[in-house]
Structure 1
Amino acid sequence: MTVALEIAVTSPAGAATARDGGADRVELCVGLELGGLTPSQALVEAVHETGIPAHALIRSRPGGFVHDAAEIDLMERELRAVLRSGAAGVVVGALRPDRTLDVDVLRRFVDAARSVRDAVEVTLHRAIDHAVDPVAAAATLADLGFTRVLTSGGQPTALTGATTIARMVSAAGPVQVMAGAGVTPADVPALVGTGAAAVHLSAKRPAPDSAHAGVPMGGADDGSAHFVTDADVVRAARAALDAA
């Protein structure tokens, strides 16, 4: 089995770096430091022009994955907009207060995506890692119409969750399991060993001269630099996959 490489990016430059380094696709978002948020329509259009398939994260705010009706409506609008702007797929997620998958909301997202384009790929994001039983949740995804799921096996990093990821691969059936969270190129062989269909990493480094320490721009702003995609890390991950 050929294991795919997905890189999380936040810009057209990052998408081009991922493409040139051998990535198979990118997950596109903004606000990586917040766990990722929905990219703008213009950003999706610009990344589409780089030629690499881009799967847009649909997440209207930071924080947990229990969403109210207004947030769900907004994310459905965002989902339709990014697909019409050239996204190859969307990345969605939602939980109930009891930490089970919100299957009604997820089915609504999948149906909305397929109403825009029949063959669109739909990924469940790491909300599954906050579910009470990620393995049992993975077993439901085929019936919900998902293409793949991104997971760390319910752990802070994919490497520490590798045993659970392997169980999720068995449970998910035709749904592709993609290992991600805290991944470095050195982790790739162990993650390939789980049977995962893809490995996901941000391959990021701080951008030079981008910090603004001393003049915070918000409550969560520690003055640190924003991140850019590191070409060396992308190439190293590709090499590790090719050698695995």
Structure 2
Amino acid sequence: MSARPALEIAVTSPAGARAARESGADRVELCAALELGGLTPSAALVEAVAAEGLPVQALVRCRPGDFVHDAEELALMAAEVRSVIASGAAGVVIGALTADGSLDTDAVARLADAARAAGRPVEVTLHRAVDQSADPVAAAALLPSLGLTRVLTSGGAPAAADGLAAITAMVAAAPGVQVMAGGGVRVADIPALARAGVAAVHLSAKARAPRRPGGTWVPLGAGGASADQDTHFVTDPEVVALARRALDTAA
């Protein structure tokens, strides 16, 4: 019998990591700006979340938008990789594409090498850049030669539940690489994702934080269109617990 898929929760704070741990998650992916798809967390945030006790996979993404990065951005992200690992991350979540939509193997190798330079075991996950690639299954097939630990994917679909066929193909195409289903995952999707043979399921289990009263609201930057929307996301422990039970039942 295959091992039970792991449960990974995307969090943005120590409180989120604590909620994930107490509700049954196996590890967390840590990022800042979840509303932008996630950006690199600060060293201080990595240190604080690592103290909560679950393994921390730190997202390294220097800006929102596409995954085609120039030399300056890659140099910055290599430095961010070293920083988050020095701050206690168990692994990093990285990725890059070329202008034609192929996996940028040179960039991925450079970031993975920066992680391995830590001198201790470090996990390296390819993030959902794979889902914006021209051929996600072909991109996954390159990962064993790059020595990556896992890949986070929706199978190239808007949500993982819609990409089951591609996810199953990725499991077969990347032996030795843990395929983790993520992207728009709902608790009801988990049994089918588990049957696809994934090594893990990833979800944000997020809820919009209530806006605290006080002061006058004015829009800042590209924030919410209203005071109710101009807030941040927090981890919902009930959703984490439901996901844990769904995985346990599917095993």
For residues 18 and 117 of structure 1, the distance between their equivalents in structure 2, rounded to whole angstroms, comes to 29
Number of aligned positions between the proteins: 244
Rounded to whole Å, the distance in 1 between the matches of 2:179 and 2:126 is 10
Choose 20-29 or 209-218, whichever is displaced more: 209-218
Q: CA separation of 1:4/1:29 partners in 2, compared to 1, >3 Å: closer, same or farther?
A: same
Q: CA deviation at 1:210?
A: 4.7
> SS of the residue aligned with 2:162?
coil
Residue 237 of structure 1 aligns with an amino acid whose one-letter code is A
Report SS of the residue matched to 1:91.
strand
User: How much does 1:222 deviate?
Assistant: 2.7
1:220 positional shift: 4.3
Letter in 1 for 2:13: S
Report what 1:176 is aligned to.
Answer: 178
Letter in 2 for 1:216: P
SS in 2 for 1:159: helix
| Corresponding residue number in structure 2 for 1:71 | 73
| Matched letter for residue 188 of structure 1 | I
The whole-number CA distance in structure 2 between the counterparts of 1:47 and 1:236 is 22
Superposition deviation, residue 117 in structure 1:
3.3
Unaligned runs of 5+ in 2: none
CA deviation digits over 1:81-122, x for unaligned, max 9? 000000000000000000001000111111110011342000
Is 1:159 paired with 2:161? Answer: yes
User: Per-residue deviation at 1:163?
Assistant: 1.1
What residue in structure 1 maps to residue 237 of structure 2?
231
Following the alignment from structure 2 to structure 1, what is the Cα–Cα distance between the partners of residues 12 and 84? 14
Matches within 5 A, 1:75-154: 75-154=77-156
- The question of 1:222 aligning with 2:228 is answered no
Per-residue CA deviation, residues 173-192 of structure 1 (Å, 9 max, x unaligned), is: 10000000111111100100
Q: Once the 2 structures are TM-superposed, how far is the Cα of residue 213 of structure 1 from its aligned partner?
A: 8.8
- Note the alpha carbon deviations across 1:48-101, whole angstroms, 9 max, x for none: 110110100000000000001110000000000000000000000000000001
What is the letter of the counterpart of residue 231 of structure 1? Answer: P
Between 1:61-70 and 1:215-224, the stretch displaced more is 215-224
What is the CA deviation profile of residues 7-46 of structure 1, one whole-angstrom value per residue up to 9, with x for unaligned ones?
0000000000000011000000011110000000000000
- Deviation of 1:127 after TM superposition, in Å, equals 0.1
Per the alignment, do residues 214 and 122 of structure 1 end up closer, same or farther by CA in structure 2, a change over 3 Å counting? same
Unaligned runs of 5+ in 1: none
Tell me the distance in 2 between the aligned counterparts of 1:214 and 1:143.
Answer: 51
Instruction: Write out per-residue CA displacement over residues 191-223 of structure 1, whole angstroms, 9 at most, x where no aligned residue.
Output: 001100000000000112259995111024434
CA–CA distance in structure 1, aligned partners of residues 138 and 178 of structure 2: 15
Using structure 1 for the length normalisation, give the TM-score. Answer: 0.97
* Candidates 17, 20, 35, aligned match of 1:18: 20
Sequence identity (%): 61
* Contact residue 123 and residue 146 of structure 1 kept, 8 A: yes
8 Å CA contact 1:203–1:234 kept in 2: the answer is yes
Name the aligned partner's letter for residue 107 of structure 1.
Answer: A
The 3-state SS of whatever aligns with 1:199 is: strand
Q: Which residue of 1 aligns with 2:47?
A: 45
